[in-house]
Amino acid sequence: MKKQVVSVLLTAAMTAGMLAGCGSSTASTSKSASAGSSSSSSTAASSSAASTSTAASSNSVASGSTEAVASTSGAAGVGEATGKYALVPKSAGNPFNEREASGFQDALKALGCSDDQIIVSYPDNPTADSQITVIQSLISQGVSSIAVAANDASALDAALKQASDAGIKVCTLDSDVDADYRSVFCNQAGVKEIAQALMDAVYDISGGSGEYAILSATSQATNQNAWIAAMKEIAESDSKYADLKLDEIAYGDDEAQKSTDQTQALLTKYPDLKVICSPTTVGIAAAAKVLQDQKSSVKLTGLGLPSEMKEYIGDDDSHSCPYMFLWNPIDLGALAAYTSVALVNGTITGAVGDTFTAGDLNDGNPYTITENSDKASEIILGQPFKFDPSNIEEWAEVY
């Protein structure tokens, strides 16, 4: 594995040099997508490293490698990337969102887009209102497509309908909206699969009994709410989890300080707390620091970025998080880029059963649009991947 990571980093350096002529930042209607430049080498590295996890994950990706640039330049069934493609992340300063943006940018560049064809526009605040302002600005610019990670399940409906009425193709990623207002959802992993992994981690780390709490993002985040609802359903329907008690679902609003405050509040309110599960990268990083700094006996699991969680991952008393999960946010951004191009070109409509090839994502195999539990269309990137002491060092070099 270590040799493979060295190879990954060499590939990253080569790819960064190849892409340097395109520039590392893109046009933005709100805040600059500076993450693209800071993450470009990580983007290149991610794809090669992802292929090393094929045995553990159903989808591995090579979106940023030099081989991927060569193979995707012919669009691989997606079609030629013409027009302007926009991404609206949840918030600025969120490392997960920044890595999504870097994947989105690099995939479009691999498809031949210039900087002025790619727009990453961060909302001023992690709210639906701020995203609405961004979407309306993008409509006025006449973009060809908008990919949005929604901060609210329904508040964006009117703005997205306005975009669709203007002929703009709309897809979602990370967090969905009502299916009537987008063509398809790029889902990082199946809701049930994520919920099962998290619930089993709580069971394992707690020893099968005791109190646990959930530290989520915002109370309106559709992805967080879906995962939590599925966790509760799993816990209530299987006697295996009968001795576990959910004390509270706290909300840190994907802000580091608020997530820190909420973690401290949970420790104070529940002296018998055993585990905190945080299915948000901002929340888990904040909680990990609190628990480790305070040498708390409370343990942590959830969804986190390896580069941010490396110092907290361990199966001993000096580390706060025995293990956690995530998918590759760079690959998720890339999937949204390929999906956007496919929608604009009419390669897909977003209907269940549509198929398309997204470069080297999914090992170069076609994606098939499927139906989720709400009878809405989605594309599943892959399975959640487990990060633990055996692999965290290698993956922290990637993203």
pLDDT in tens, 162-180: 999 999 999 999 999 999 9
Q: How far is CA 5 from CA 10, 15, 39, 385, 387, in A?
A: 9, 15, 16, 17, 15
pLDDT at 52: 33
Give residue-wise pLDDT tens across range 289-311: 999 999 999 999 999 999 999 99
Superfamily of domain 191-326: Response regulator (3.40.50.2300)
pLDDT at 65: 31
pLDDT at 72: 36
pLDDT at 7: 36
Please tell me whether the overall predicted TM-score, pTM, comes out greater than 0.85 for this model: no
Tokens 């479009």 locate to 108
Q: Do domains 2-188+328-396 and 191-326 have the same CATH topology?
A: yes
282, 257 contact by CB (below 8 A): no
- Measured CA angle at 376 (ends 371, 379), to 5 deg: 55
Q: Where are the domains of the chain?
A: 2-188+328-396, 191-326
Beta bridge partners of 210: 244
- CATH code: domain 2-188+328-396 is 3.40.50.2300
pLDDT at 5: 38
- Pick out the chain residues at pLDDT < 50: 1-76
